[in-house]
């Protein structure tokens, strides 16, 4: 990163975070997201930082960007008018989905509305079989008729998805040519290109989601580029993807579905960088914002990568209530637990938290903007974890009586609990939900949370991190520099990378080294081309190859890593058996093994932090230190010292009970814990004191 | 601890709910039988040392769950807690002691802490083949339906009982799948047990007795309160279903007395000569689900929330069939029971209950005909895909098209079906006009056309319902379309039994639609227009 001045922008649902890394210093700001034209907030944030730091666009060597726009377009169904050309006889794949109810005990559920309505799911006479043979040749006259319909309906984006196209994409390619001949400008998304993987519902869902957000995203990316150019930016722009890698604007505009979870991915990358910097082998990253908490496991500074993600979980964030997309994603668990999550009492007298959130309007009751529902932030306020006079750098005066009122009326009184017990109960339940999610996620991946170091960022995480440590019996949490804008900082360190997939079924007993090497070479060429297009100068790249393998007869594959240039049957079998044992304990004696799909990821190296000196330039004026504040926790009521983060000196530890305040968050240090500033990184390390 | 104990107990309860979900996920990921791994035909739960179900995974299917809930006491009667050793795993597939047919294997694993049993983990999965005639309704006695294992040890103090496995392997058509699934069940119970011990250590618990009492009491009291809100009385509802060779009358009287519900099936037809008979635990499972999905449906399912519901079916009736009745396709009748119970409840909760739907899943067994395979040089195969019809209209909205209810299973992917068999699914889409018309329309069924890529003959085992008796509409809504099984070349089949599909023929299924609610002429213009525009309903 030496000498590189990078600007990172993370557009979230509520806030747009802009971070400027300038000669090893960080400048950061949060501005409200402008929904109609998101680039406005971006430009406003940039100009604010330019003013503050005194630099201008020509000093910037790289712009990095992540956004939830694609996700929001899907959630709010604001995407393009999209058509799907699909195998005749199968036009309802997208809507029939898994034919299940994601909630057993509710007869009134609604299944997600498909992104393409039935009348625009247009049957094409053609059929490819499971082994790639042509059973029914493509009927080009039926394609021409469908193009008439596309024109008549003024369709803005076209997805093409045929059965078994992951195996043989010729028909899709031919139809694309025919469409292009008559509709020059309409963007096309082919399932054999966007997601060449077996299982038609997931493949088509991904392809249609890509088509649905494509016009909007490419328009936005273009408009942003123009605005940046107008500000005299002369540097390259790269986009953050959900897989934790950066990619070029051109690739992002072609596969915008790969951008959906970019903000959280940035946070995970930041955690990776810190884990390597501090040589932490086992880490749990904990990102808690206004609406959700994201928890992610890192081993040896690496996240788990997977290909399963769900957008728009409409029913209490419940698995299965959203639209599946198969894209490279950093595996993490996301639950409806944030500062704005609302607490209520169910009919069993149990406190339930979220997933409904008070959002930014009206926001938690203590914001004093008319919110009457008790939220996690209200509980934090009542428990003394927030300094009412110095919230958000003093921009917002917290209304403690309003928080008290909301908590007592909606939760305390029905349960006949005191105010403090109620607030503690709310905090405990949300902490427990996050703990359970982390543990369950670890189990799912054959891992455990034991002995991990927590890395906490996002506005609400440092308030809850210490209690999470206690619950998981961990020893230490790191609160990064700039914790409140962690995702955007993560972008700066992300590698340039691209992952491709191929579904090619292969029995291990019939392993064909030549065939597999051909598949790998094919993927390598595609991935290298994309990575090269985003590189400013040639850089060393690494390859990570995986196979999705299972015992013949099983329905779910395990992800097995292998070296792309040294693949052989024994190695694959050995790696499969190691992974299987790690996940499920026992191998199945004598069962045959098969590979369903292959992926190859080509990536530059993740940047490391090289002596970021004196980066404590948080622009907020923070309070004078040594104020005393009443802090309530599960062990009792304490007198806590309030200390501004920038006043901490590296050689003195502050013992709890204490609050460490900064512009975008507060770190709670309970009795029995101490916090110190690390040099040279300026991260905080909060640790349990030996007794 | 300054916090009230109740909140800590809530935390442990929440943890138990998370643990059984992990248990179920492990089972799904490691299972071999396609209906388990792809479709979630399974159940998982944790039980007190008295055999009371404390928590169940939402993943899974009600027929399994509630029946499994009743099976754990049967294990305890055979092997009391005092005789259990660390590393023991018990199993059975007895239809009357567990979940209703021989394909379902239930495993129970005691969890030890400091040398004492603190809980039991149980799980059930559907093993694709257990020998006999194969999965289907054609047998006349349970002895023809496959191998039957009484409650016995699969592992004894960690040692696998290899003689038992040899015996099972020798009796089933796909021994790898059967053995793999038994390992998968063992693994999922172990995952649950490990996490439970972690939790108990974390909360410094030596046993679960206080927690169990709290969970069961809270749930029971809440369920009683919900029932108390309902008008006392006896509500009757009857339904005629196809049966195998003759229609079956299901007669039901649901009585609400104060804070309890009694569901009585007296008057229902007697047992069948074929494998559609229902053992009592399976009848109880689906009948109580009919109540639980409407009344107190946000109260977690456990022994406490199930306690206020009593199910009565006289011995010898088809819903309390005793050995040696054939029971393999007991789900065809069992899955119709929620519709009957909901029919009774429509008189108490007229604004909340849905109409009748397709209800029974359509899960044909499609397999090679061994002799024909040799002649046509076609590969051996067996697949058991799952297709669904439409659910009944809800009072305030349309029914769900092609969606499983009451079963909790998912469908299987066409591409996966085709990669694991030489069949090709030429068509699979919504079936126009199959939903019962109404102010709110019933969900649509689907049409599926299947051919053999080698044009070889193949075998079909049918266990379908609503081929003769449609899902009925309510409050002026019309009936859903009946299901059909036929050849494109012309021949029409019944809903049950085995058929040989001739060489080169195309087999067609039409799954039933759901019943409609309310007068069709009162349907809004915009809803009619949307249906016609989507070509889901004909223009008239």
pLDDT band at A610 (very low <50, low <70, confident <90, very high): very low
Q: Which residues from B are below 8 Å from A110, CB to CB? A: 397, 400
d(CA B159, CA A651): 57
Contact A443 B292 (CB under 8 A): no
Most confident of A107-111, A391-395, A500-504: A107-111
Reported as a single tens digit per residue, the pLDDT across B361-419 is 999 999 998 787 778 888 888 888 999 999 999 999 999 999 999 998 888 899 989 98
pLDDT band at B260 (very low <50, low <70, confident <90, very high): very high
Residue A63 CA from chain centroid, whole number = 19
d(CA B465, CA B471): 10
Residue B187 contacts A where some CB pair is shorter than 8 Å: yes
Q: Which residue has the tokens 């926790």?
A: A633
Strands (E), A167-292: 188-190, 237-240, 246-248, 282-288
Query: Which tokens belong to B59?
Result: 């993943």
Is the CB of residue A407 less than 8 Å from the CB of residue A375? no
d(CA B282, CA B519): 36
pLDDT of residue A585: 66
The answer for B 352-381 residues in CB contact with A (under 8 A) is: 353-354
pLDDT of residue B38: 65
Residue B25 contacts A where some CB pair is shorter than 8 Å: yes
Q: Which residues from A are below 8 Å from B191, CB to CB? A: 443
The answer for A 538-597 residues in CB contact with B (under 8 A) is: 551-556, 583-586, 588, 590-591
The C-alpha of B293 sits at a distance from chain A's nearest C-alpha, in angstroms, of: 4
The C-alpha of B354 sits at a distance from chain A's nearest C-alpha, in angstroms, of: 7
Reported as a single tens digit per residue, the pLDDT across A523-575 is 999 889 888 887 877 788 889 899 999 887 666 788 898 888 888 899 999 99
Please say if the pLDDT value at position A186 is more than 60.
yes
Residue A40 contacts B where some CB pair is shorter than 8 Å: no
Please say if the pLDDT value at position B537 is more than 50.
yes
Q: Count other Cβ atoms within 10 Å, centred on residue B18.
A: 22
Contact B293 A635 (CB under 8 A): no
Q: Which residues from A are below 8 Å from B411, CB to CB? A: 96, 98-100
Residue B62 contacts A where some CB pair is shorter than 8 Å: yes
The answer for A 86-105 residues in CB contact with B (under 8 A) is: 89-93, 95-96, 98-101, 103-105
Rounded to the nearest integer, the mean pLDDT of chain A is: 88
Please say if the pLDDT value at position B58 is more than 60.
yes
DSSP output for B46-109: EE-TTS-EEEE-SSS-HHHHHHHHHHHHHHHHHS-GGG--TT-EEEE--TTTTTSSTTEEEEEE
Contact B408 A104 (CB under 8 A): yes
Contact A164 B415 (CB under 8 A): yes
Is the CB of residue B483 less than 8 Å from the CB of residue B441? no
CA angle (A401, A404, A409) in 5-degree steps: 125
Say what the pTM is.
0.90
Indicate the range of A7-16, A99-108, A147-156, A286-295 predicted with least confidence. Answer: A7-16
Contact A586 B191 (CB under 8 A): no
Closest alpha carbon to A664 in A457, A517, A505: A457
Residue B190 contacts A where some CB pair is shorter than 8 Å: yes
DSSP output for A327-376: --EE--EEES-STTEEEEE-TTS-EEEEEEE-TTTT--GGGTSS--S-BH
Please say if the pLDDT value at position A586 is more than 90.
no
Beta bridge partners of A641: A628, A658
Q: Count other Cβ atoms within 10 Å, centred on residue A392.
A: 17
Select the residue of A96, A432, A444 nearest B14 (Cβ to Cβ).
Answer: A432
Reported as a single tens digit per residue, the pLDDT across A340-384 is 899 999 888 889 998 888 876 778 999 998 899 999 999 999 999
Residue B21 contacts A where some CB pair is shorter than 8 Å: yes
pLDDT of residue A213: 96
The C-alpha of A270 sits at a distance from chain B's nearest C-alpha, in angstroms, of: 29
d(CA B179, CA B400): 37
* Chain A residue nearest residue B293, CA to CA: A105
Residues 6+ apart with CB under 8 A from A630: A384, A637, A638, A639, A640
pLDDT of residue A612: 40
pLDDT of residue A357: 83
B268 φ, ψ to 5°? -70, 150
The C-alpha of B413 sits at a distance from chain A's nearest C-alpha, in angstroms, of: 6
ipTM: 0.93
Residue A351 contacts B where some CB pair is shorter than 8 Å: yes
pLDDT band at B4 (very low <50, low <70, confident <90, very high): low
Q: In this structure, what DSSP letter does residue A496 have? A: B
Most confident of A194-198, B9-13, B127-131, B472-476: B472-476
Q: In this structure, what DSSP letter does residue A307 have? A: S
pLDDT of residue A614: 35
Q: Which of B1, B3, B397, B442 to mutate to test the interface with A (most CBs of A within 10 A)?
A: B3
Residues 6+ apart with CB under 8 A from A519: A502, A504, A598
More confident residue, A347 or B207: B207
pLDDT band at B216 (very low <50, low <70, confident <90, very high): very high
d(CA B364, CA B511): 12
pLDDT band at A592 (very low <50, low <70, confident <90, very high): confident
d(CA B142, CA B161): 25
Is the CB of residue B243 less than 8 Å from the CB of residue B276? yes
The answer for A 170-209 residues in CB contact with B (under 8 A) is: 198-201
Q: Which residues from A are below 8 Å from B416, CB to CB? A: 198-199, 555
Is the CB of residue B110 less than 8 Å from the CB of residue B84? yes
pLDDT of residue A181: 96
Select the residue of B2, B34, B388 nearest A99 (Cβ to Cβ).
Answer: B388
Contact B31 A585 (CB under 8 A): no
pLDDT of residue B505: 97
d(CA A475, CA A452): 8
CA angle (A60, A61, A65) in 5-degree steps: 85
Residue A223 contacts B where some CB pair is shorter than 8 Å: no
Reported as a single tens digit per residue, the pLDDT across A210-240 is 999 999 999 999 999 999 999 999 888 899 9
The answer for A 113-172 residues in CB contact with B (under 8 A) is: 117-119, 127, 129-130, 135, 163-164
Q: Which residues from B are below 8 Å from A99, CB to CB? A: 386-388, 402-404, 410-411
Measured CA distances, A212 to A75, B434, B473 (Å):
12, 30, 37
Residue B4 contacts A where some CB pair is shorter than 8 Å: yes
Q: In this structure, what DSSP letter does residue B173 have? A: S
Reported as a single tens digit per residue, the pLDDT across A679-689 is 888 899 999 98
Share of chain A above pLDDT 90, in %: 54
pLDDT of residue A671: 93
Long-range contacts of B5-11 (CB under 8 A, 24+ apart): B6/A349, B6/B214, B7/A351, B7/A425, B7/A428, B7/A429, B8/B203, B9/B210, B9/B211, B9/B214, B10/A350, B10/A351, B10/A429, B11/A428, B11/A429, B11/A432, B11/B203
Q: Which residues from A are below 8 Å from B40, CB to CB? A: 100
Alpha helices of B160-279 — where are they, by DSSP H? 162-171, 175-202, 209-228
pLDDT band at A66 (very low <50, low <70, confident <90, very high): very high
d(CA A523, CA A501): 7
Measured CA distances, A466 to A280, A377, B202 (Å):
18, 16, 16
The C-alpha of B77 sits at a distance from chain A's nearest C-alpha, in angstroms, of: 30
Contact A351 B179 (CB under 8 A): no
Please say if the pLDDT value at position A447 is more than 60.
yes
Residue B77 contacts A where some CB pair is shorter than 8 Å: no
Q: Count other Cβ atoms within 10 Å, centred on residue B487.
A: 15
Rounded to the nearest integer, the mean pLDDT of chain B is: 93
Residue A403 CA from chain centroid, whole number = 31
């Amino acid at each position: 990163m030496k000498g590189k001045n990078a600007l990172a922008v993370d557009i979230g649902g509520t806030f747009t975070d802009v971070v400027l890394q300038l000669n090893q210093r960080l400048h950061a700001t949060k501005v409200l997201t402008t929904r109609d034209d998101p680039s406005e907030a971006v430009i406003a944030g940039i100009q604010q930082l330019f003013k503050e730091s005194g630099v201008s666009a020509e000093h910037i060597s790289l712009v990095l960007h992540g956004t939830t726009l694609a996700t929001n377009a899907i959630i709010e169904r604001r995407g393009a008018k999209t058509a799907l050309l699909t195998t005749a006889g199968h036009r309802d794949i997208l809507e029939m989905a898994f034919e299940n109810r994601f909630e057993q005990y509710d007869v009134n559920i609604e299944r997600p509305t498909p992104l393409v309505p039935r009348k625009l799911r247009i049957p094409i006479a053609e059929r490819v079989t499971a082994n790639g043979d042509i059973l029914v040749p493509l009927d080009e006259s039926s394609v021409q008729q469908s193009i008439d319909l596309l024109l008549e309906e003024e369709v803005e984006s076209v997805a093409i998805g045929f059965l078994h196209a992951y195996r043989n994409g010729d028909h899709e390619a031919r139809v694309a040519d025919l469409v292009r001949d008559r509709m020059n400008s309409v963007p096309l998304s082919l399932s054999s290109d966007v997601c060449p993987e077996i299982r038609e519902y997931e493949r088509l869902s991904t392809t249609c989601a890509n088509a649905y957000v494509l016009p909007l995203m490419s328009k936005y990316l273009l408009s942003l580029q123009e605005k940046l150019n107008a500000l005299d930016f002369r540097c390259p722009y790269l986009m953050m993807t959900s897989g934790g890698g950066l990619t070029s604007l051109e690739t992002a505009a072609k596969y915008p579905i790969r951008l959906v979870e970019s903000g959280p991915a940035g946070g995970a990358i930041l955690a990776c960088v810190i884990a390597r910097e501090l040589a932490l082998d086992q880490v749990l990253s904990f990102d808690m914002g206004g609406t959700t908490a994201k928890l992610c496991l890192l081993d040896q500074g690496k996240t788990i990568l997977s290909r399963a993600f769900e957008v728009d979980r409409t029913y209490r964030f419940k698995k299965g209530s959203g639209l599946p997309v198969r894209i490279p994603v950093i595996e993490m668990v996301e639950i409806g637990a944030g500062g704005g999550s609302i607490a209520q009492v169910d009919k069993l007298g149990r406190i339930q938290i979220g997933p409904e959130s008070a959002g930014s309007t009206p926001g938690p009751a203590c914001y004093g903007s008319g919110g009457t529902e008790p939220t996690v932030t209200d509980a934090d306020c009542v428990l003394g974890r927030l300094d009412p006079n110095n919230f958000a750098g003093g921009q917002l005066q917290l209304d403690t009586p309003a928080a008290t009122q909301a908590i007592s009326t909606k939760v305390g009184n029905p349960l006949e609990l005191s105010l403090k017990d109620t607030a503690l109960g709310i905090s405990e339940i949300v902490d427990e939900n996050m703990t359970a999610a982390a543990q369950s996620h670890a189990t799912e991946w054959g891992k455990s949370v034991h002995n991990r170091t927590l890395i906490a960022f996002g506005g609400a995480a440092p308030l809850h991190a210490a209690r999470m440590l206690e619950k998981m019996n961990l020893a230490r949490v790191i609160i990064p520099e700039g914790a409140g804008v962690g995702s955007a900082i993560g972008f700066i360190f992300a590698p340039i990378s691209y992952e491709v997939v191929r579904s090619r079924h292969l029995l291990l007993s019939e392993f064909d080294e030549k065939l597999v090497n051909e598949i790998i070479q094919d993927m390598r060429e595609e991935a290298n081309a994309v990575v090269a297009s985003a590189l400013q100068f040639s850089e060393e790249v690494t390859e990570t190859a995986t196979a999705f393998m299972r015992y013949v007869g099983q329905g779910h594959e395990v992800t097995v890593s292998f070296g792309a240039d040294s693949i052989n049957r024994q190695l694959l079998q050995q790696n499969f058996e190691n992974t299987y044992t790690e996940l499920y304990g026992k191998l199945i004696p004598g069962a045959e093994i098969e590979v369903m799909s292959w992926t190859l990821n080509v990536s530059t190296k993740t940047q490391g932090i090289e002596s970021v000196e004196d980066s404590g330039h948080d622009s907020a004026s923070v309070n004078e230190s040594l104020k005393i504040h009443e802090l309530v926790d599960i062990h009792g009521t304490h007198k806590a010292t309030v200390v501004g983060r920038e006043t901490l000196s590296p050689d003195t530890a502050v013992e709890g009970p204490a609050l460490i305040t900064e512009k975008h968050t507060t770190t709670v240090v309970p009795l029995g814990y101490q916090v110190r500033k690390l040099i040279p990184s300026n991260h905080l390390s909060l640790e349990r004191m030996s007794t | 601890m300054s916090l009230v104990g109740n909140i800590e107990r809530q935390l442990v309860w929440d943890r138990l709910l998370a643990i059984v979900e992990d248990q179920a996920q492990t089972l799904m990921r490691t299972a071999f039988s396609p209906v388990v791994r792809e479709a979630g035909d399974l159940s998982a739960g944790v039980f007190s040392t008295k055999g009371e179900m404390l928590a169940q995974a939402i993943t899974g299917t009600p027929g399994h769950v509630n029946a499994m809930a009743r099976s754990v006491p049967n294990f305890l009667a055979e092997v009391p807690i005092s005789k259990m050793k660390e590393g023991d795993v018990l199993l059975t597939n007895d239809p009357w002691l567990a979940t209703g047919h021989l394909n379902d294997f239930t495993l129970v694993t005691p969890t030890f802490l400091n040398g004492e049993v603190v809980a039991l983990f149980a799980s059930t999965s559907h093993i694709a083949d257990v020998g006999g005639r194969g999965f289907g309704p054609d047998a006349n006695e349970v002895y023809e339906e496959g191998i039957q294992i009484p409650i016995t040890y699969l592992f004894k103090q960690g040692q696998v009982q290899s003689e038992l496995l040899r015996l099972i392997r020798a009796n089933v058509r796909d021994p790898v799948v059967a053995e793999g699934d038994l390992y998968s069940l063992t693994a999922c119970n172990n995952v649950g047990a490990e996490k439970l011990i972690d939790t108990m250590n974390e909360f410094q618990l030596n046993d679960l007795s206080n927690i169990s009492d709290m969970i069961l009491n809270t749930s029971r009291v809440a369920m009683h309160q919900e029932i108390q809100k309902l008008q006392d009385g006896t509500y009757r509802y009857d339904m005629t279903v196809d049966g195998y060779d003759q229609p079956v009358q299901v007669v039901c009287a649901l009585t609400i007395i104060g804070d309890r519900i009694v569901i009585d099936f007296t008057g229902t037809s007697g047992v069948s000569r074929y494998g559609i008979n229902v053992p009592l635990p399976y009848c109880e499972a689906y009948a109580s689900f009919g109540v639980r999905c409407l009344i107190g449906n946000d109260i977690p399912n456990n022994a406490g929330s199930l306690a206020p519901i009593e199910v009565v079916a006289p011995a010898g009736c088809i819903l309390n069939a005793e050995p040696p009745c054939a029971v393999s396709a007991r789900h065809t009748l069992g899955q119709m029971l929620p519709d009957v119970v909901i029919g009774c409840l429509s008189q108490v909760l007229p604004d909340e209950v849905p109409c009748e739907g397709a209800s029974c899943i359509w899960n044909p067994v499609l397999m090679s005909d061994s002799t024909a395979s040799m002649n046509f040089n076609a590969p051996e195969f067996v697949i058991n895909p799952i297709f669904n019809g439409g659910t009944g209209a809800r009072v305030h909205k349309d029914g769900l098209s092609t969606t499983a209810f009451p079963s909790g299973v998912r469908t299987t992917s066409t591409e996966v079906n085709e990669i694991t068999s030489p069949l090709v699914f030429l068509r699979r889409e919504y079936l126009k006009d199959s939903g019962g018309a109404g102010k709110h329309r019933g969900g649509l069924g689907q049409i599926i056309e299947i051919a053999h890529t080698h044009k070889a003959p193949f075998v079909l085992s049918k266990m379908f319902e609503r081929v003769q008796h449609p899902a009925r509409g309510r409050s002026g809504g019309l009936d859903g379309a009946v299901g059909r099984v036929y050849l494109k070349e012309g021949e029409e089949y019944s809903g049950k039994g085995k058929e040989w599909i001739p060489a080169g023929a195309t087999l067609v299924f039409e799954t039933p639609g759901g019943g409609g609610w309310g007068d069709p002429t009162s349907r809004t213009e915009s809803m009619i227009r949307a249906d016609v525009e989507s070509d889901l309903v004909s223009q008239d």
